[in-house]
Amino acid sequence: MRKELFSTMIAGLLVAAHAACAAPRDEIVSTASDQHSVAVTIYNDDLALVKDARRVRLGRDVNQLAWREVSAQMRPETAQLRNVGNPAGFRLLEQNFDFDLLTPQKLLEKYVGREVSVIRTHPTSGAETRETATVLATNGGVVLKFADRIETGVPGRLAFPGVPDTLRDTPTLVISLVNPTPGTQNLELSYLTTGLSWRADYVAELNANDNQLDLNGWVTLTNQSGATYPNARLQLVAGDLNRVRDAQAVPRATMAAKAADAAEMQQESLFEYHLYTLQRPTTLADNQTKQVALMSANRVPVRKQFLLEGANHYYSGQYGEIGQKIKVGVFVEFDNRGEGLGVPLPKGVIRVYKKDSQGNALFVGEDRIEHTPKNETVRLKLGDAFDVTADKKQTDFQKLGGTGRYNYVFESAYEIVLKNAKPEAVTVTVREPMPGDWIMVSESQPHTKRAAGTAEWKVSVPAEGQATLTYRVRVRY
C-alpha cells in the first residue's frame, strides 16, 4: 500500500513541474524549429561531428542563449558557436551543458533541504488540503519533515514552486554571449558527440561454379545520442583516427529500432582517410538504425582455395601421429578492381550466400575485412571443407647435433595424405611454417618458399580419391 501511494504522489510531480518549467525571463530559447540546416559527419569509432545551423533573434550586447535539443552525449569542451552572418564583435563569455534531465526523482533530489507543498485529497469528500514540508532525503523514497513530525511514503501529491535552472526537459547548451547587432542572426553550433556510429556490412552471393560473386555493400548507421537530426547532410569517414582516450568510459543505456534507405554514397579522399557523402539529406532519428547503399558489383571474378596450415612446434620433437581427418580451410578471394569495385572498402563483415539446386540462397560463411584500398585483394575464410580432409604423421625424427641451449639440429620427415570425397578434383595448398634455419632435404613434389619461414606445396587431389605429400626437412636453432 505504501508503495502504491508513493507512486501516486510521484505521478503528480511532472504535471506541477511542467507548469513551472519555463525558461528564466532573461533567457533566449532556441529549439529545432529555428534550425535551417544540420550536417552530421560520423567516424568509425563512436564519434560524430554535428554542425547545427539556426536562425535566432538576439538582443544587443549580453545575451543568455539556451540552445535546446542537442545531443545528450555531447562533449561540451568541443562545442563552438559562430555567428555566420555578423561575426564582427560577436564573442562568447561562458557556456554550460545542462544534461540533468527533468524527472520526478531528479526534481525531488534538487529539492533536498527545501520546502514543498504536500497536497492531500479526502477519499470521500474530495476536498484538498495543503501542508508545507521540507524534503530531507530521497534515497529509496522520500522523507519529509513537517512542522510537528517526519513522514515517509506520504500519500497525495507534491507541488514545487519552480524548476531549478539546471534541470531541463531536454539536453540544453546554455551560452552567455555578446552580440553587437540586434535582430535575427545566422548561428552555427558545432560539437563532437558520442552515440553516433556506423559500420559497413556486405552481402555476397557466389555463383554455381564458385568462380564469380555478386557483392552489395551497405552502411549501417546507429543513432543513440539522445537527439534527432532531421534532413541532415550526412558524411562518413573511414579510417583509424588517433584519439585521446578518457580514463574510464561512462556506460549509457540504449535502444535501437530499424529503418532502411537505398541512397547511393559518393567517395573521396580526406587527409589519410576516405570520406563518403550521402547524395541527399536523410533523417537520423534517436534510437534508430538506418541502412544506406554503399556499393554494388556483379560477376566479380573469385578464386577459391583449400588451405591446410601446419604448426612449427613439431619440428623440434617426436610426435608420430599429428592428426587424423584434419580440417582443410576454405577461402575465397577477389581483387578490389573492375566495374562496381575499385573504390576504398571500409572495414566490416562480408556475409556470403550461395543458391542450392532449388534456387534458395543459403548462408555459407562470413569474415571480417579491414579498410581495403582499391586494387588490393580481399580474402575471406568461409569455413572448413566437409569433403576434403588430411591425415598427417611424422615418419622420422633425428637429433643431429647441439648441446646446451643453442646449436640444435633436428631432421624430421612427414607424410600428409589428402582425401577428397567430392565428385571433382581439387587443389589443396599445404602451408608449413618452418622454424629456425631450415633446408628441405627431400620431397615428393617441389615446394615454393612463400616467405623466409614458410614452405608451400600445391597438391592436386583427384575426384573421390587421395594424394600423398612426403617431405624431409632439417632445421637448426
Tens-of-pLDDT digits for all 477 residues of the chain?
A: 444 444 444 444 433 444 344 445 578 999 999 999 999 999 987 899 999 999 999 999 999 999 999 999 999 999 999 999 999 999 999 999 987 777 788 888 889 999 999 998 888 888 889 999 999 998 888 999 999 999 987 777 899 988 887 777 788 999 999 999 999 999 999 999 999 999 999 999 999 999 999 999 999 999 999 999 999 999 998 876 676 665 544 444 333 334 444 455 666 656 567 788 888 899 999 999 998 888 899 999 999 999 999 998 899 889 989 999 999 999 999 999 999 898 889 889 999 999 998 989 999 999 999 989 889 999 999 999 999 999 999 999 998 887 766 788 999 999 999 999 999 999 999 999 999 899 999 999 999 999 999 999 999 999 999 999 999 999 998
Paired residues of 214 in beta bridges: 205
**Phi, psi for 466 (deg, rounded to 5):** -150, 160
User: Are residues 158 and 222 part of one domain?
Assistant: no
Do 164 and 231 reside in the same domain of the chain? no
* Residue at a domain's end among 193, 212, 228: 193
Q: In Å, how far are 36, 313, 476 from 402, measured between CA atoms?
A: 79, 18, 9
- Taking alpha carbons only, the member of 275, 278, 304 closest to residue 290 is 278
Tell me whether residue 73 is in a domain.
yes
Within-domain flag for 7: yes
Question: Cell digits for 462?
Answer: 583427384
Strands 47-58 and 91-98: unpaired
User: In terms of Cα–Cα distance, which of 331, 328, 429 is closest to 385?
Assistant: 328
Q: Provide the CA 423 distance to its chain's centre, in angstroms.
A: 43
CA distance 157 to 11: 8
* pLDDT for position 258: 40
* Residue 137 near residue 151 (C-beta atoms within 8 A): no
DSSP category for residue 347:
S
The reply to whether 128 and 223 lie within a common domain is no
| Domain presence at residue 186 | yes
Chosen domain end from 328, 358, 374? 374
Pairing, β 229-238 against β 377-403? unpaired
Q: Tell me if residue 221 falls in helix, strand or coil.
A: strand
C-alpha cell at position 193: 558527440
320 lies in the same domain as 364: no
Domain that holds residue 132: 1-193
141/7 Cα distance (integer angstroms): 10
- What pLDDT does 25 receive? 55
Report how far residue 360's alpha carbon sits from residue 362's, in angstroms, rounded to the nearest whole number. Answer: 6
Running DSSP on this structure, what letter comes out for residue 445? Answer: S
Separation in Å, CA 408 to CA 160, 273, 316, 323, 455: 85, 48, 9, 26, 21
107's enclosing H/E stretch is helix 104-110
* Residue 179 lies inside a defined structural domain of this protein: yes
Taking alpha carbons only, the member of 205, 189, 404, 441 closest to residue 315 is: 441
Domain CATH for 445 = 2.60.40
- Residue 440: helix, strand or coil by DSSP? strand
Whether residues 19 and 50 share a domain: the answer is yes
Residue 401 phi, psi dihedral angles, 5° rounding? 180, 175
Same-domain status, 187 and 259: no
Same domain? For 365 and 380 the reply is no
* 321-335 and 282-284 beta bridge pairing: unpaired
Same structural domain, 218 and 161? no
- Number of structural domains, the chain? 3
Task: Look up residue 84 and give its three cell numbers.
Answer: 555566420
pLDDT at residue number 272: 63
Nearest to 473 by CA among 403, 418, 414: 414
Q: Are residues 142 and 284 in the same domain?
A: no
Looking at the domain assignment, is residue 246 inside a domain? no
Q: Torsion angle, CA of 273/276/277/282, rounded to 10 degrees?
A: -120
Residue 346 is given by DSSP the state P
C-alpha 229: how far from chain center: 19
Q: Which residues contact 378 (CB under 8 A, 6 or more apart)?
A: 333, 334, 335, 336, 345, 350, 369, 372
CA–CA separation, 83 and 56 (whole Å): 10
Phi, psi of 19 (to 5 degrees): -65, -30
Residue 347 near residue 373 (C-beta atoms within 8 A): no
162 & 291 share domain:
no
444 and 402 housed in the same domain: yes
Decide: helix, strand or coil at residue 465: strand
| pLDDT at 254 (0 to 100) | 35
Looking at the structure, tell me whether residues 95 and 146 fall in a common domain: yes
Is 154 inside any structural domain? yes
Closest of 423, 417, 419 to residue 463, by C-alpha: 423
With contact defined as beta carbons under 8 Å apart, do 369 and 217 qualify? no
Do the domain assignments include residue 99? yes
